Amino acid sequence: MSIVDDIHFKRTLRTPSSERLLGLLSTNGMEHDAVAVDLHFLPSGVATGTVTVLDGGGLSQKDIPALLERIDDDFLPGIDLDQGGVTFTVVFARSAESFESAQSS
């Protein structure tokens, strides 16, 4: 069993052509962010995604193939990673804060 199997995905945004997911892992009963995924479904029937692996989240370079396969299996029905229907960009990054724009008065 891989650490990737322990990731709990939470959908944070969904549009007709894209979605954003946050992958959480539990350590000592506390959930923490491990990976962020943005998926975009193109009119041609293929998908492209950005996978941001967060520093300190518990995932390493060796986990990436299993992570991409899991994302493909769980969130890309009808699109197959092994058949060339999806392209991923994988980024390793430190987590920052979430920023939200404020309404002008």
Task: Supply the pLDDT for residue 11.
Answer: 96
Task: Supply the pLDDT for residue 39.
Answer: 96
Q: String of b and e for 33-48 (b: at least 16 CB within 10 Å)?
A: bbbbbbbebeeeeebe
What is the distance between the alpha carbons of residues 48 and 69, in angstroms, rounded to a whole number? 14
Task: Supply the pLDDT for residue 96.
Answer: 65
Task: Supply the pLDDT for residue 105.
Answer: 65
pLDDT tens for the chain, 105 residues: list them.
789 999 999 999 999 999 999 999 987 788 889 999 999 999 988 999 999 999 988 899 999 999 999 999 999 988 877 788 899 999 999 866 666 777 776
The tally of CA atoms less than 13 A away on the side-chain side of residue 9 is 18
Cα separations in angstroms, 60 against 19, 63, 71: 24, 5, 16
Give yes or no for a contact between 9 and 74, defined as CB atoms under 8 angstroms apart: yes
Q: Which of 58, 25, 69 is nearest to 9 (CA)?
A: 25
Whole-model pTM? Answer: 0.85
